[in-house]
C-alpha cells in the first residue's frame, strides 16, 4: 500500500510543482516545500525514486483514424488537467468505438462514425480545459478569487449546476450542445 501511495505522489508531484528549479532542491528543502504545498494529509512522505517533471500540453491528433489504426484516449487527445477528464474521455472513446463497431456493417464505416461522434466532444473538452488553465495554474490572486467566487455560486445555481454536472460527466458535445444519459442512465453515444 505504501508503495502505491508513493507511486501516486511521485506521479502527481511534478506537474503540480511545475518548476524545474524545485527538482534541484536538496532533500530537506524539497520535503519542506512539499509539506508547505500539500499539507500533512499524507503523513511522512519519502522519495520513491528520482524526481522528474514534464510540461502539461494540449495535444489533439489531426485525425483519429487511418489505415489499420485508430487513436483513443491520450493518444488522440491530451488536455490540461483542470476538468479532470482525461481518463473519462478515454473511456468514452472506447465506449463509442465499441458502439460504432456494433452499429456499422463494416469497419471503415465504424471508424468514420467513431471519429464523427468523438471529435466535437473531445475538442470541446480540450478548449474548456485550456480556458480554465489560468484560473487554476497561475500565481494571480485576482484570478483565484474570481474562480472561487464564480464556481461556488455556479454550483448553487439551479440551472447551472446540472450543466456543470454534465460537463464533469463527459456529456458535452460543444459549448451549446450536450447529450443526456438515456432512461437507464447510460451514455447515449
Ligand atoms: C498527475 C496526473 C493526474 C491526472 N488526474 C486525472 C484526473 O483526476 N481525472 C482524469 O480523468 N484524468 C486524470 N489524468 C489523466 C489520465 O491519467 C489520462 O488521461 C489517462 O490515463 C489516459 O489513459 P490512456 O489509456 O489513454 O493512456 P495511458 O494511461 O497513458 O496508458 C497508455 C499505456 O500504454 C503503455 N504504452 C506506451 N507505449 C507502449 C508501447 N510501445 N507498447 C506497449 N505499451 C505501451 C503505457 O505504459 C501505458 O500503460 C491525470 C494524469 C496525470 C499525469
100 pLDDT above the threshold of 90: yes
Question: For residues 32 and 71, which has the higher predicted lDDT (pLDDT)?
Answer: 71
Position 4 pLDDT exceeds 80: no
pLDDT at site 118: 94
Residue 9 has pLDDT above 60, yes or no: no
Q: Let me know if 129 is exposed, middle or buried by CB neighbors in 10 A (0-12, 13-18, 19+).
A: buried
Which of 13, 11, 10, 17 is CA-nearest to residue 137?
Answer: 17
Whether pLDDT at 14 is above 70: no
47-66 pLDDT, tens digit per residue, is 788 888 777 778 899 999 99
What separation, in Å, do the N-terminal and C-terminal C-alpha atoms of the chain show? 37
**pTM, to two decimals:** 0.79
Rounded distance from Cα 143 to ligand 1 centre (Å) = 29
Residue pair 76/97 in contact (Cβ under 8 Å)? The answer is no
Whether the CB of 90 sits within 6 Å of ligand 1: yes
pLDDT digits (tens, 9 = 90+) for 103-162: 998 999 999 999 999 999 999 998 898 888 888 887 789 999 999 999 899 988 988 888
Compute the distance between CA of residue 92 and CA of residue 90 in angstroms, rounded to an integer.
5
Packed helices 141-155 and 107-136: angle between N→C axes, nearest 10 degrees? 120
Looking at residue 189, its pLDDT comes to: 58
- Please write the tens of the pLDDT for every residue from 65-95: 999 999 999 999 988 878 889 999 999 999 9
The answer to whether the CB of 68 falls within 8 A of the CB of 30 is no
What is the atom index within ligand 1 of the atom nearest the CA of 76? Answer: 26
16 CB under 6 A from ligand 1? no
**pLDDT tier at 36, thresholds 50, 70, 90:** confident
Ligand 1 pocket test, candidate residues 72, 74, 88, most atoms within 8 A of CB: 74
CB atoms within 10 A of CB 59: 11
Ligand 1 lined by 87 (C-beta under 6 Å): yes
Average pLDDT over residues 25-30: 87
State how far the Cα of 115 lies from the Cα of 33, in Å rounded to an integer.
44
φ, ψ for residue 50, nearest 5 deg:
-65, 150
Share of the chain above pLDDT 90, in %: 34
- Calculate how far, in angstroms, residue 93's C-alpha sits from the geometric centre of ligand 1: 14
Residue 74 CA, ligand 1 centroid: distance in Å: 7
Q: What is the pLDDT of residue 17?
A: 46
Give yes or no for residue 69 CB within 6 A of ligand 1.
Answer: no
Domains of the chain by start residue, with CATH: 1-55 (no CATH), 59-178 (3.50.50.60)
* DSSP string for 17-76: H--HHHHTS-HHHHHHHHHHHHTTTT-S----S---------EE-S-SEETTEE--GGGT
Of 146, 174, 178, 151, nearest to 163 by C-alpha is: 178
Write down the residue that cell numbers 468523438 correspond to: 118
Question: For residue 101, what pLDDT band results from cuts at 50, 70 and 90?
Answer: very high
For the packed helices 141-155 and 160-168, what is the interaxial angle rounded to 10 degrees?
Answer: 110
Amino acid at each position: 500500500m505504501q508503495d502505491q501511495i508513493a507511486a501516486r505522489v511521485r506521479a502527481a508531484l511534478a506537474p503540480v510543482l511545475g518548476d524545474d528549479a524545485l527538482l534541484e532542491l536538496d532533500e530537506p528543502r524539497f520535503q519542506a516545500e512539499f509539506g508547505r504545498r500539500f499539507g500533512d494529509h499524507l503523513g511522512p512522505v519519502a522519495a520513491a525514486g528520482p524526481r522528474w517533471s514534464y510540461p502539461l500540453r494540449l495535444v489533439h491528433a489531426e485525425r483519429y483514424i487511418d489505415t489499420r489504426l485508430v487513436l483513443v484516449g491520450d493518444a488522440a487527445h491530451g488536455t490540461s488537467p483542470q476538468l479532470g477528464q482525461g481518463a473519462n474521455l478515454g473511456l468514452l472513446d472506447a465506449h463509442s468505438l465499441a458502439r460504432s463497431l456494433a452499429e456499422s456493417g463494416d469497419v471503415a464505416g465504424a471508424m468514420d462514425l467513431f471519429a464523427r461522434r468523438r471529435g466535437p466532444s473531445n475538442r470541446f473538452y480540450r478548449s474548456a480545459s485550456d480556458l480554465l488553465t489560468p484560473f487554476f495554474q497561475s500565481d494571480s490572486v485576482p484570478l483565484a478569487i474570481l474562480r472561487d467566487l464564480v464556481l461556488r455560486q455556479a454550483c448553487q445555481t439551479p440551472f447551472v449546476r446540472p450543466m456543470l454536472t454534465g460537463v464533469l460527466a463527459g456529456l458535452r458535445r460543444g459549448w451549446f450542445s450536450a447529450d443526456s444519459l438515456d432512461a437507464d442512465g447510460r451514455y447515449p453515444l
